[in-house]
Amino acid sequence: MDGMKNLFDYAVKELEQDAFLMWLFESWKDPKINSIVQHLLEAFCGLNKTDEIKDISTQAQWRNSDVRVNITLSDDRQIVLLIEDKTFSSEHSDQLMRYNKAVEELEGEKYKIYYKTYIIDDAESERVKKAGWKEYDLDKINDLFKDFRETDVFLVKQYIDHLEGLIKVNRNEVKPQSSETRRDVLLWDAYFKNTVISKLKDKLNEKGCNAWAFHVHYGYSLLKVEPQNDKDKLPYLEIRSRDCLDNKVKALIVCYNIEDESIMKTIVPLATKAAEKIDFWSTKYQRHKAGKEPKQICFKEEKLETDSDEEFTARIEECIDRYCELLDKMREFSD
């Protein structure tokens, strides 16, 4: 076993985790797996140890939801368990609300689980609860499986090891030196949250800003700073993990949050004018689409003297100060 890699470090997509969950539930008759399945059903559906399972079957992508588990008990009770599975992405496009409409057509007992092997932030959690789904984030999922750590079922053991590895990554407080692999991106997520945002929490509150760290589909982690008010009408500060390598830091002022082109036609000139009044931002870097205002307004890039957490955080703090100064100038010019 020495040197063997973990399958789940490579099988990172939601469809692959779907397949694992379906395999696990449909293997309920195996004596080594039965106790795990029973434990999950107790947590997800409130089954008791005295409830005897008669049959379990699964369906993938039922009405676009990830996994449907059909459970028949010995007394012929019918239970449907829906699992919306996430690994790297988040709830989007009111998908849980849409799945609810399909669930309403089902008869019998119904349970809905939002199963994400990563962090569920406050905004996402609010959407999940509003839709009436029970959430399980990385910590809760790890708690579900930790009592089976000594199993000799190879796939289950690897899955538990994978979960524990993700827990360690999520606790990272050290600035990563790469931004290439999925693990690198998760390390950056954790670093932005646990070190940078944590250290600058008071500064952000003082400036009337919120900060978020999350990964995007383009393969990097993103630190986003936005005003607490009018966040859908003002540009935000963006710092990308891929721009923070080789002893440098780069910050962007962008407007990807503003979809209304009429607002953009007012915001971009204001932001550009404000940036030109501050001896910090460069306005040379702009991306245009035909007939539309640029989404990237200005930027700041500089080399660091050292690659220490202290200097890196200090540079980000300065970027936040100058970003807030830009917002103040914009408000001044708009009066």
Q: What is the pLDDT of residue 52?
A: 92
Q: Which amino acid is at 240?
A: R
Q: What is the pLDDT of residue 6?
A: 86
Bridging pattern class, strands 236-240 and 220-227: antiparallel
Q: What is the pLDDT of residue 306?
A: 76
pLDDT in tens, the chain (335 residues): 567 888 888 887 788 899 999 999 999 999 999 999 999 999 999 999 889 999 999 999 898 889 999 999 999 999 999 999 998 788 887 899 999 988 888 888 999 999 999 888 888 899 999 999 999 999 999 999 999 999 999 999 999 999 999 999 999 999 998 888 888 999 999 999 999 999 999 999 999 999 989 888 668 999 999 999 888 889 999 999 999 998 899 999 999 988 888 888 888 889 989 999 998 999 875 666 666 778 888 999 988 887 788 899 999 999 999 999 999 999 888 76
User: Tokens 């400036």 appear where?
Assistant: 207
Q: What is the pLDDT of residue 263?
A: 87
Q: What is the pLDDT of residue 94?
A: 84
Q: What is the pLDDT of residue 74?
A: 92
Q: What is the pLDDT of residue 216?
A: 80
